[in-house]
Chain A
Amino acid sequence: MPKWFMPACIVCAVMFAATPIVIANAPFESTMGLVFKIFFYHMPSAWMFLLSGVLCGIASVRYLASGDARHDRTAWAAAELAVVFGLLTLVTGPLWARKAWGTWWVWDVRVTSSLVSWMVAVAYLILRRYGGPGSDKLAAGLALFGAANVPFIYISVNYWRTIHPATSVVPTLPVDMGLPLWFCVVAFLLLFILLLKLRVRLEEQRSRLDTIYLSANH
């Protein structure tokens, strides 16, 4: 592992340990009260979910175009992280929504689009795990289609009911609520980078193992 990994892990751990304190000191949001604090974990998770999805899509396209295995490893790692952060988003969201909007689930644009994209990421992992040889290219194709699908999902779901707060929640937050949010975002981003590095390393070790296998059995 590279030299920056362990120090970065420590920094990340400290930041996450500090998040409850930082969040507790943020002022209460006037209409939702205490439950709004979930937002400080929900938003960064959602952004990391989005980032993972984009990374997986780009890496898959590069893999299909060039055949370089490094892109494939990145794509697989990004897909796993998309499933993890997507799960966090899709669970913390309803926990917040139950109190804020009175219902566990709503079929509004962003919630539904997130769910569908998450299902594509899970399908990617299922394919990698159970598809047998050749599933690397297949999965790249799936990721490409999943990524290209996002505008269509958005537009088609948009003509249903919409309760999600407008995207401009973040900029209009007073600075007191802005700082804790950005702190959490940085913590989550650092965590994302660390997890990505770790997971890509696992794939590198696996391919090294395959090389040894092949050279041992010739």
Chain B
Amino acid sequence: MFARAVWLILRKDLTVEVRSGEIAYTTLFFAVSCILMFAFALVRDGRAPEDGAAGLLWIAIAFAGTLALGRTFERERQSETLRALLMAPTARPAVYVGKLLGIVALLIAVEIVLVPLVAILFEARALLERPLWLAGILFAGTTGFAAVGTLFAAMLIRARSRDVLLPVLLYPVIVPVMIAGVRGTAALLQPDVDTAVLGFWLALLTTFDVVFVTLALWTFEAVMTD
């Protein structure tokens, strides 16, 4: 029952996205523009800053993710579909999980484009040498970002100043995700990759995901009632 509701919501979002492509294309273009801005700002004499790739990748993900979150829920607000979703006879947290999976899918698609771009522009070819580790860290980090972001974006749907409030509320809370994501990705760029360090950051991200998805599931009920 719950899984079916999640799937329906996810499928709805994916269908709308595949038809219009609005959020996917704009988010992707914005992320690429971000990376280019970083390149113009930081590349000197044709040389990229040392160890810049990891941090810049994650900053671009954070910025693009914030935009995507805002747009996803703005669309719900404009069509008044959120009220319909909440009134539907499904468990409310199913709405949250459905939205979460949609955002994660979108961000993963953006990252598939961003990672090679960053690897090329910032001389970080080593990123692509261990795709499984990279995928693990990207997935865990993106889920952590989206777990908190989806909840906050849903909470803010009726608030004033919601566009600026989302990053204001979100960024301090996802600091551990940023740190772990960047440090984990940077560990992949070291000349001799230390899998223990990678394992640590991945475990931290996974724990963060579990704890905050659970908290969000509980809080979603309490906060969306009014």
Chain A residues near B (Cβ < 8 Å): 64-65, 116, 119-120, 123, 126-127, 130-135, 137-138, 140-142, 144-146, 148-149, 152-153, 155-157, 159
Q: What mask results when residues 143 to 170 of chain B are scored 1 for a CB within 8 Å of chain A, else 0?
A: 0000010011001101111000100110
Residues of B within 8 A of A156 (CB): 175-176, 179-180, 183, 204
Residue of A131, A137, A153 with most chain B CB atoms under a 10 A cut-off = A131
Instruction: Report the count of interface residues on B (CB-CB < 8 A).
Output: 31
Whole-angstrom distance between the Cβ of A33 and the nearest chain B Cβ: 35
Given A126-B168, A127-B165, A131-B156, A137 and B173 touching (CB < 8 A)? no
Partner of A148, one of B155, B156, B200, B212: B212
Which chain B residues border A123 with CB–CB below 8 Å?
168-169, 172
- Complex: how many Å from CA A44 to CA B148? 32
Residue of B nearest to A120 (CB): B172
Residues of B at under 8 Å CB distance from A?
148, 151-152, 155-156, 158-161, 165, 168-169, 171-173, 175-176, 179-180, 183, 200, 204, 207-208, 211-212, 215, 219, 222-223, 226
A29 and B159 CA atoms in complex are apart in Å by: 52
List the count of A-B residue pairs having beta carbons below 8 Å apart: 89
Determine whether the beta carbon of A145 is less than 8 Å from that of B179: no
User: Quick one: closest A residue to B156, CB to CB?
Assistant: A138
Residues of chain A within 8 A (CB-CB) of B212 are 145, 148
**Contact residues in A for B176 (Cβ distance below 8 Å):** 149, 152-153, 155-156
